[in-house]
Amino acid sequence: MNGMNGRQTISSMILYVIMFIAAFLFLFPLLFVFLNSLKPLQEIISHPLSLPTKLVWSNYTNAWKIVNFPLLFKNTFIVTLFSLLGIILFATMVAWWHVRHPSRYSKILTTAIIMSILIPFASIMIPLVQVLGRIGINNTLFGAVLTYWGIGLAFAYFLMRGAVMALPAELEEAAKIDGYGTIPIFFTIVLPLLAPTMMSVLVMDGFWIWNDVMVPLIVINNHALSTIQLGINRLFGMYNSRWEVALPALVLSMIPILVVFIAAQKKIMAGILSGAVKG
């Protein structure tokens, strides 16, 4: 018995060491960015791995003004919000309909949606710009939102489909008997039950959209419509890199999404597990 307890203790210690190393590897880049954001430019370039010799908090006020953070924050918030709303709504509706009304065509569409995850974004960039230009929404926030809908739908559908399969169909049948139509059933019964999975999709896709630079880079060419990451990207040129502005701006851009993640981490894990059980 003591031998078994000893082996369990050793296994626990090994697990804790592995978790500590993983946490360190995850947090070190964030710490690296934060420490360098408090240094002058010459110190960032000459001693990037050292502690700051003097804390230059004015880097943050300069970044706020130079990057025009309020405007870029507003644009990023608008794109992220409407992208997430569309992804969640479309993925949930399609997943629910496919699960509750299975057919040969729904299986083909399900396979096509999931297979689209394998398509690399680089292969569709030029056709994407051409299509957005033809329909007149290139260089607009809606063009970026529509692009995120198309790219984010497949993964959200995969999670939502698994969550819908775990729902008891008897609840919906009882609602039909009580006189509820299809739309009221979906919005009053199905959506509330899918809240944990929706939360996980919201946060994971929210991280991606908030921090993404590729879609805005190819869709938006107007500085007034730039997102935060696109504005930071424009601080780097062929002959000049403004690290003392870019690093504080990166820290400021991470704060909102990290706060959301920390506040909702339990619901995120619950949503991932509920979506994976029968996916």
Question: Domain containing 206 — which CATH number?
Answer: 1.10.3720.10
d(CA 53, CA 68): 28
State the average pLDDT over residues 175-184: 84
- The reply to whether 28 falls in a domain is no
pLDDT tops 70 at residue 267: no
Angstrom distance (rounded) from CA 138 to CA 193: 37
Residue 193, domain extent: 68-276
In a domain, 27, yes or no: no
| Domain-embedded: residue 55 | no
Tell me if 132 is assigned to some domain: yes
Which residues have C-beta within 8 Å of that of residue 207, sequence separation ≥ 6?
257, 261
Q: What is the pLDDT of residue 6?
A: 59
In a domain, 229, yes or no: yes
CA–CA distance, 90 with 111 (Å, rounded to integer): 16
For 262, other C-beta atoms within 10 Å of its C-beta total 8
DSSP 214-238: HHHHHH---GGG--HHHHHHTTB-S
DSSP structural state of residue 136: T
Please check whether residue 149 lies inside any domain of the structure.
yes
Residue 6 belongs to some domain of the structure: no
| 150: in domain | yes
Count structural domains, the chain. Answer: 1
Q: Which two tokens stand for residue 166?
A: 């775990």
pTM of the model: 0.81
pLDDT tens for 182-220 read 888 888 888 888 888 888 888 889 889 998 989 998 898
